[in-house]
Amino acid sequence: AQRVTQPEKLLSVFKGAPVELKCNYSYSGSPELFWYVQYSRQRLQLLLRHISRESIKGFTADLNKGETSFHLKKPFAQEEDSAMYYCALSPIISGNTPLVFGKGTRLSVIA
């Protein structure tokens, strides 16, 4: 069964501090991993996906197949990063398939 685990419901950091949002997954194949973000009063939107290897808004995430993790990192948190973050999995790389989401982590950046 496919499962995505985000162990932290809430993460509070000070502005300028490093951020790491944890995501672990369970899936027997080679999935594609995503991070979605939802800012206050906005819709869910894609932040980044592992296959594109991009850095978006200073965030990066590396897929670690050995640890089945896809943690989201940013070296210096900004107040505008405060939002709800969801890690998601698709069982097929570059496939158009339903996503399996974690329960989300609320990031609060304190000024």
Partner 1 sequence: GAGVSQSPRYKVAKRGQDVALRCDPISGHVSLFWYQQALGQGPEFLTYFQNEAQLDKSGLPSDRFFAERPEGSVSTLKIQRTQQEDSAVYLCASSRLETQYFGPGTRLLVL
List residues near partner 1 by CB under 8 A: 4, 6, 9, 32, 43-46, 49, 86, 88, 90, 94-96, 98-104
Least Cβ distance, residue 88 to partner 1 (angstroms): 8
On whether the CB atoms of residues 70 and 21 are closer than 8 A, the answer is no
Q: Which is nearer to partner 1, 66 or 95 (CB)?
A: 95
Q: What is the Cα–Cα distance from 70 to 99, expressed in whole angstroms?
A: 15
User: Nearest to residue 10, comparing CAs of 111, 102, 109, 106?
Assistant: 106
Decide whether 17 or 93 has the Cβ nearer to partner 1.
93
Q: Min. distance of Cβ 74 from partner 1 in angstroms?
A: 21
Q: Which is nearer to partner 1, 28 or 94 (CB)?
A: 94
Q: At closest approach, how far in Å is the CB of 17 from partner 1?
A: 25
For residue 24, the tally of other CB atoms under 10 A from its CB is 17
| 3-class secondary-structure state, position 109 | strand
In the complex, the smallest distance separating the C-beta of residue 18 from partner 1, rounded to whole angstroms, is: 24
CB contact at 8 A, 81 and 37: no
